[in-house]
């Protein structure tokens, strides 16, 4: 086995190489003057099982293109099998056509990865695992980041209550609650499919008095969802609110929005290169390593 580290591997390639005692080859990369991506694999991988590590966080399209080019180059060099580790899989939220005429982004992205030559895909908690499994024609392995997130969350809370910001995230909340040995529940969210705006509904049935509420989601993008969930949690009596998510994208002023909403701590994972040093990062490399 050989690991090929891409420009957006965020150090996970090096960690895997060390943990598994496997050779690491760094992909050479540059951008041509006209903006196109260039990739070269500088060593032979003939006959080897090759594990390519490349996340697809911002700028998503560039990182995705680099991934496809790495797969093509590795295949052309004669790898016997190609496994793509994509810690954050971009475009996963557009997993169906919410409105007529919309592109089914997840499907085309997964087709490109497969058709470029990737036999297997390993990714960390995509938005809807079943959609990834059904659209990727090769083998798919999903990494559950909960144990890594829980390790960090335990340092921040005393009397935890895990709260999912929508019904779809309830199963995730249940997994985390098991690790924290805490109660859990969910609230309800509506999203305007044109403006993208979210609205969290009232939840009079929930009593969060004295609780350290742990909001859990797969992605924090604009922060709108969790900011509203935090305000609601305080209205319901929460003592403190923290936020945890697998993929902390933190677009624009998301961090300020979350702190203004009273969120005391934000915990993410290294599927994304998070520039904001106040965000606590849980390493998921060991959870990926066991899938290889």
Binding site for ligand R5P (CB under 6 A): 93, 127, 165, 198, 217-225
Other beta carbons within 10 Å of 36 = 11
Question: Would you say 36 or 190 has its CB closer to ligand R5P?
Answer: 190
Question: Would you say 93 or 273 has its CB closer to ligand R5P?
Answer: 93
- Among 15, 189, 240, 257, which one carries the catalytic annotation? 189
53 phi/psi in degrees, rounded to 5: -110, 115
For residue 54, say whether it is annotated as part of any ligand binding site.
no
189 catalytic? Reply is yes
Question: Would you say 3 or 92 has its CB closer to ligand R5P?
Answer: 92
For residue 246, say whether it is annotated as part of any ligand binding site.
no
* 163: its two tokens: 């709260």
Question: Would you say 63 or 189 has its CB closer to ligand R5P?
Answer: 189
CB 200 to ligand R5P: min, Å: 10
C-beta of residue 246 within 8 angstroms of C-beta of residue 271: yes
CB 98 to ligand R5P: min, Å: 11
For residue 34, say whether it is annotated as part of any ligand binding site.
yes
CB 223 to ligand R5P: min, Å: 5
For residue 224, say whether it is annotated as part of any ligand binding site.
yes
**Binding-site annotation: residue ranges:** 34-36, 93-94, 127, 166, 191, 217, 221-225
Q: Which residues are catalytic?
A: 189
């Amino acid at each position: 086995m050989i690991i090929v580290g891409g420009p957006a591997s965020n150090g996970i390639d090096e960690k895997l190489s060390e943990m598994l005692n496997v050779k690491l080859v760094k992909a050479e990369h540059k951008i041509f003057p006209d903006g196109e991506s260039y990739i070269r694999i500088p060593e032979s991988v003939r006959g080897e099982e090759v594990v390519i590590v490349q996340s697809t966080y911002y700028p998503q399209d560039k990182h995705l293109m680099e991934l496809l080019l790495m797969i093509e180059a590795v295949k052309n060099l004669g790898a016997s099998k190609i496994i793509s580790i994509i810690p954050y899989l971009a475009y996963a939220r557009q997993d169906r056509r919410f409105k007529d005429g919309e592109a089914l982004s997840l499907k085309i992205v997964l087709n490109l990865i497969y058709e470029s030559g990737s036999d297997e895909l390993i990714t960390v908690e995509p938005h809807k695992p079943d959609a990834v499994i059904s659209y990727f024609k090769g083998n798919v392995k999903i990494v559950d980041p909960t144990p890594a997130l829980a390790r960090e969350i335990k340092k921040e809370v005393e009397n935890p209550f895990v709260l999912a910001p929508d019904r779809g995230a309830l199963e995730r909340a249940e997994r985390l609650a098991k690790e924290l040995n805490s109660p859990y529940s969910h609230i309800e969210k509506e999203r305007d499919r044109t403006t993208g705006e979210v609205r969290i509904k009232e939840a009079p049935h929930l009593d969060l008095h004295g609780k350290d509420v742990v909001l859990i989601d797969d992605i924090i993008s604009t922060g709108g969802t969790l900011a509203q969930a935090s305000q609601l949690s305080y209205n319901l009596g929460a003592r403190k609110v923290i936020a945890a998510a697998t993929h902390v994208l933190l677009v624009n002023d998301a961090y300020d929005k979350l702190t203004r909403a009273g969120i005391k701590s934000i915990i993410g994972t290294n599927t994304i290169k998070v520039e904001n040093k106040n965000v606590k990062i849980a390493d998921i490399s060991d959870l990926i390593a066991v899938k290889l």
